[in-house]
Structure 1
Amino acid sequence: MKKALLMSAFFVGAICQEQVMAFCPMVPGAGRVEVQRVIDGDTVRLKDGRNVRLIGINAPELGRKGRAGEPFAEAARRRLQALVMESGGHVGVVAGRERHDRYGRTLAHLYGSDGMNLEARLLAEGLAYQVAVAPNGDLFECQQLAERQARQLRLGLWKRPSVLRADQIGKPGFVLLNGHVSTIRHNRGGLWIELRGSVVLHVAPGRLEQFDALWISGLKGKQVEARGWVVERGGRSVVRQRGERWLLSLSHPGMLQAAR
């Protein structure tokens, strides 16, 4: 029985690896760079001094300044370390369309010596959540497949997925949430999708063309799953709309879907 289970796990892993390889092939001509150290599950420091934030994933946060780390944060960091070591300490680096984030980190896809996308590997093993932030969505479909496999197999983070209800959000940061759409509004500020529980999803005017307007209009009264970074409203940079406490901005349609 034990042998059968081990063989089953082996074949599942092999299938996942083949599919990730097939749908996330390395771009020809990607420059290989030495990795100095792995900072966490989605960030590495290269020997040339660049800090690279991996595109398409958000790994659990490590504990800092006396705060406990999130579940699987250390596992994600160690797995990324192992993948880098398996690649001989060098990785292929493909910069995103948007090359830097607000912290000055390089935004890029990383590939092992076998040509496999490292973000997809982490997603397929349930060690990170998929995220899509425009304009860096070139690998969205293949990375979505990788996460979907982990979710179906209940691997890593998906053993006990922390999908919050809109009324359970208590602090800013990354969330995966499920909510009931109460109102959908358009104005000069873009698209506003209000969820019961003091959360509003926002699509800026410049990103609206990426979203299916007909599909969006049919969401009223339905349950949706959204993911991204929530911020508390009411500051000078955000106009308070009807009292919703939390704002989650969407720049890519992949961050919003009908609830499972």
Structure 2
Amino acid sequence: MLMKKALLVSAFFVGAIWQVPALASCPALPGALRVEVQRVIDGDTVRLKDGRSVRLIGVNAPELGRKGRAAEPFAEAARRRLQSLVMENDGQVGLVTGRERRDRYGRTLAHLYGREGVNLEARLLAEGLAYQVVIAPNDNLFECQQLAERQARQLGLGLWRRPSVLKADQIRKPGFALLTGRVNNIRRNRGGLWIELQGAVVLHVAADRLERFDSAWISRLKGRQVEARGWVVGRSGRGPLRKRGSRWLLSLDHPGMLQVAR
């Protein structure tokens, strides 16, 4: 009962704020199973009544504050919006699992849908409450989710009011990042493809992922400004260090995580 009251308040509060005309949408995938949501954990994760934790495919919402760390901007708004979307469907949503069914934490990877076939991830993206991420093989909705995020970005909604796009030399800690930098060098070896950015970041495509990328397009990136997204880790001891300044590594799993900067 308390959960329902909280969701009703959230639905009213967030619905009043996040009114967006002509929302981008994604098609309903076949094979959806009706499931009941017990709790919305954050803007991209829910707990089902059957005990499963579900990580939404294609989105990365801002992190809530935990262990003394402050919440990232729009983290609470994303959680409340997902709560309201769930409540609009009386806590029951359609679930379509990805080709890869679980992540390394044991969470079910899935798309969620409302009664009318509305994809919940696309709604979050179109309202600027999450970043798009693409991790193969779960890329069925890549293109429509990309359009949803682009709409929010063009309208300056949510996260895109003041986009936190970092320059490559501004990276100071590991974690998810949306960054931009000029390509200084591109090299390939048995470990895959290495794209060195001006600054302290190198982008890496593992050898077993290269077939997903257009090699001719990649070869034309040298000297151009690119935008990449993903999870940055410390690069110490990983791969051929072309220069001492390349302290950070961002692995690219899918072409949708890299584009020429606009």
- Normalised by the length of structure 2, the TM-score is 0.90
Q: Partner of 2:20 in structure 1?
A: 13
Paired letter, 1:106:
T
Q: Partner of 2:30 in structure 1?
A: 28
CA distance in 1, matches of 2:136, 2:251: 11
Q: Partner of 1:226 in structure 2?
A: 228
CA distance in 2, matches of 1:169, 1:38: 31
CA distance in 2, matches of 1:148, 1:142: 10
CA distance in 1, matches of 2:98, 2:47: 17
Structure 2: state its 5+ residue gaps. Answer: 1-15
Structure 1: state its 5+ residue gaps. Answer: 1-8
- Please say if residues 58 and 131 of structure 1, whose CA atoms lie closer than 8 Å, have aligned partners that are also in contact: yes
CA distance in 1, matches of 2:154, 2:207: 35
How is 1:104-253 mapped onto 2 (pairs within 5 angstroms)?
A: 104-234=106-236, 238-239=238-239, 241-242=241-242, 243=244, 244-253=246-255
- Please say if residues 233 and 240 of structure 1, whose CA atoms lie closer than 8 Å, have aligned partners that are also in contact: no
Paired letter, 1:30:
A
**Aligned residue pair count:** 244
CA distance in 1, matches of 2:66, 2:183: 35
SS of the aligned residue for 2:20 comes to helix
Per-residue deviation at 1:234?
A: 1.4
CA distance in 1, matches of 2:66, 2:240: 32
CA distance in 1, matches of 2:240, 2:176: 20
Paired letter, 1:196:
Q
SS of the aligned residue for 1:15 comes to coil
SS of the aligned residue for 2:137 comes to coil
How is 1:94-105 mapped onto 2 (pairs within 5 angstroms)?
A: 94-105=96-107
Per-residue deviation at 1:88?
A: 1.1
- Please say if residues 60 and 128 of structure 1, whose CA atoms lie closer than 8 Å, have aligned partners that are also in contact: yes
Paired letter, 1:224:
V
Q: Deviations over 1:144-202 (max 9, x none)?
A: 01000000000000000000000000000000001010000000000000001110000
CA distance in 2, matches of 1:74, 1:208: 37
CA distance in 2, matches of 1:70, 1:196: 27
What is the percentage of aligned positions where both structures have the same residue? Answer: 77
Paired letter, 1:161:
P
CA distance in 1, matches of 2:231, 2:22: 32
Q: Partner of 1:38 in structure 2?
A: 40
- Normalised by the length of structure 1, the TM-score is 0.91
Equivalent residue in structure 1 for 2:259, among 250, 257, 260: 257
CA distance in 1, matches of 2:158, 2:44: 15
Per-residue deviation at 1:240?
A: 5.3
Q: Partner of 1:60 in structure 2?
A: 62
- Please say if residues 31 and 96 of structure 2, whose CA atoms lie closer than 8 Å, have aligned partners that are also in contact: no
CA distance in 2, matches of 1:13, 1:52: 26
Counterparts in 2 of 1:133 and 1:240: CA distance versus 1, 3 Å = same
SS of the aligned residue for 1:13 comes to coil
CA distance in 2, matches of 1:255, 1:128: 14
CA distance in 2, matches of 1:241, 1:106: 36
- Please say if residues 111 and 118 of structure 1, whose CA atoms lie closer than 8 Å, have aligned partners that are also in contact: yes
CA distance in 1, matches of 2:225, 2:40: 38
Per-residue deviation at 1:114?
A: 1.6
